[in-house]
Amino acid sequence: MFEVAEYIGIIAFTMSGFFVAVRSRLDLLGVLISVFLTAFGGGIIRDIIVDKTPYTFTHAVPGFMVLGMMILMIILKFHKRESIENKPLFIISDSIGLVSFSITGALVAMQHELNLTGVLALSFVTAVGGGITRDVIINEVPFVFKTGFYGTIALLVAIVLYGLDQFGILNIYTTTLLFAAGVVLRIVAYQNKWSIPLR
């Protein structure tokens, strides 16, 4: 279950990292860095927190997936298209990545027997850590700080996943249902411009 969610998140965030890099008019090296940070940054931070060798550093598949996906997007000339970032493909891929990594972060926290605070922290860091690192490097205000409901999705997913585990009903079916619900909620929140009011 962890590996499936991790791979889905890697593919989805590879796409969103590529779109952000293209919008920022980065060169090939810049695109590569943006893609790798977005896809792996959060997971690396998560694994370091729980004193574990990052998954990306011990498995070859994630790296090949990112390179393959990036090459495919270049072949399909996604870098030639205008205003990609606000198009449905970007929103969907970013939403899938957000929810997938929220799930993997929470799963790792529960595997290490962390409490609810730890589950929330690792879920959030895994989901948005890579994007924050990428945005800081390209000198942008991180996306999660500009829309209040983006990071909230990660926290909601973590709370539900923790609850499922506490009630003994955490399995592939409930996790899949949570994944679908999280993606739909993120897309609906984006379409309706939901945010957490400052006052």
Give residue-wise pLDDT tens across range 114-150.
999 999 999 999 999 998 998 888 888 887 777 667 8
Span 170-199, average pLDDT: 87
**With 70 as the cut, is the pLDDT of residue 83 above it?**
no
171 to each of 7, 112, 123, 163, how far by Cα in Å? Answer: 18, 18, 18, 12
- Which residues, in sequence order, are CB contacts of 173 under 8 Å at separation 6+? none
pLDDT at 82: 63
d(CA 195, CA 193): 6
- Please report where in the chains the tokens 């205000």 appear, as a residue: 141
- Residue 149 CB neighbour total at 10 angstroms: 18
Residue type present at position 93 = S
Say what the pTM is. 0.88
Taking each helix axis from N to C end, the angle separating 172-191 and 148-166, rounded to the nearest 10 degrees, works out to 160
- Of 5-9, 40-44, 152-156, the range with the lowest mean pLDDT is 5-9
Nearest CA to 7 out of 134, 101, 112, 73 is that of 101
